[in-house]
Amino acid sequence: MASLKDIRARIESTKNTQQITKAMKLVSAAKLRKAQNNIQNMRPYALTLRKVIADIAITNKVSHPLMEQKPEVKKVLLVVLTSDRGLCGGFNGNINKFAESYYKQNVKNFEKIDFLFIGRKGSDYFTKKGYKAIDSITRLDKDISYDLASHVADRLMKQYLSGDYDEIRLIYNEFKSAISQQVVCETLLPIDIQNTSFDTTGTAVGFSVDMIFEPAPQQIIEQLLVKHFDLQVYRSMSESVAAEHGARMTAMENATNNAKEMINSYTLTYNKLRQEKITTELTEIVSGAEALK
């Protein structure tokens, strides 16, 4: 059985840990508020831009290599978006397990499946498993910016247009709330233009989808597609950062509560052991006094 001194040391150590986890929770809560406002302001613009591109492409029958569906998908690039740091519950573990499961289920269906890691946790996990990646990008939590997203998007577009890959998929955590994140496997390229704001089936009454654009639709599409793709990559990074802060805040709150329970348990054990020693000493004193009579 541990001595009173050992139990007191455990109590002090647990209290110090509780202070650290409480401070980390407050820091994550402050960062989450900023990241949440950023992603909530960005979502409507990103979704509307995709609809505008779809409207122009469908109504004017405009084609572009980034929107053309390949007749057969043989080469796939998986972009796995995780965090650089831990202590955020199952945030990284869920993504890594999902990506690994996707690879094992589809590796026989394609000629090749390559990985591009954004975030150190994903890179470390798959490196230990023996998977090789074409590249790893870290420091996402500190250096996240539109310029970084534009750089990554430009690289992905060049690899797709050069024929290195027939499809590029992004696996990341989509932010739902401070306590909820959802793993999403989203097809980045080719760009999906099925979701439009028009009724292209011709069933709408009194509305025509014939529209005149200035400048030419092809020119608009070429400019909007690059902006759209950059924005989607940036939005995904922002979603992941917001989800990371939410997961870390929740994990630190749980750790703080667990530390409180451990302190109560150690204190109870300490009091019982201390009372037992006091009772033993009193018994010895009374027995000694009786023996002297």
The domain in which residue 64 lies consists of 24-198+209-249
**pLDDT of res. 140:** 66
d(CA 117, CA 252): 26
d(CA 148, CA 152): 6
d(CA 196, CA 184): 22
Q: Check residues 207 and 228 and name the one with the higher pLDDT.
A: 228
- pLDDT tens-digit series, residues 55-103: 777 765 677 788 888 888 899 999 999 998 888 888 999 999 999 999 9
Residues 225 and 66: beta-carbon distance below 8 Å: yes
Total H helices, total E strands in the chain: 6, 5
In this prediction the pTM is 0.82
The β-bridge relationship of strands 133-137 and 112-118 is: parallel
AA identity, residue 143: D
Residues 246 and 181: beta-carbon distance below 8 Å: yes
Tell me if 90 is assigned to some domain. Answer: yes
Tell me if 284 is assigned to some domain. Answer: no
Active site residue ranges: 88
Tell me if 128 is assigned to some domain. Answer: yes
Tell me if 269 is assigned to some domain. Answer: no
- pLDDT tens-digit series, residues 107-120: 888 989 999 999 89
**pLDDT of res. 60:** 59
Tell me if 257 is assigned to some domain. Answer: no
**pLDDT of res. 199:** 47
Q: What is the CATH number of the domain that holds 140?
A: 3.40.1380.10
**pLDDT of res. 121:** 92
**Could you tell me the CA-to-CA distances from 232 to 142, 236, 237, 284, 292 in Å, in that order?**
19, 6, 9, 77, 89
Residues 206 and 275: beta-carbon distance below 8 Å: no
Tell me if 15 is assigned to some domain. Answer: no
How many residues appear in the chain? 293
Tell me if 173 is assigned to some domain. Answer: yes
Neighbours of 199 (CB within 10 A): 11
Number of domains observed in the structure of the chain: 1
Tell me if 287 is assigned to some domain. Answer: no
- pLDDT tens-digit series, residues 163-221: 899 999 999 998 888 888 899 998 888 887 665 554 444 444 444 456 666 677 777 78
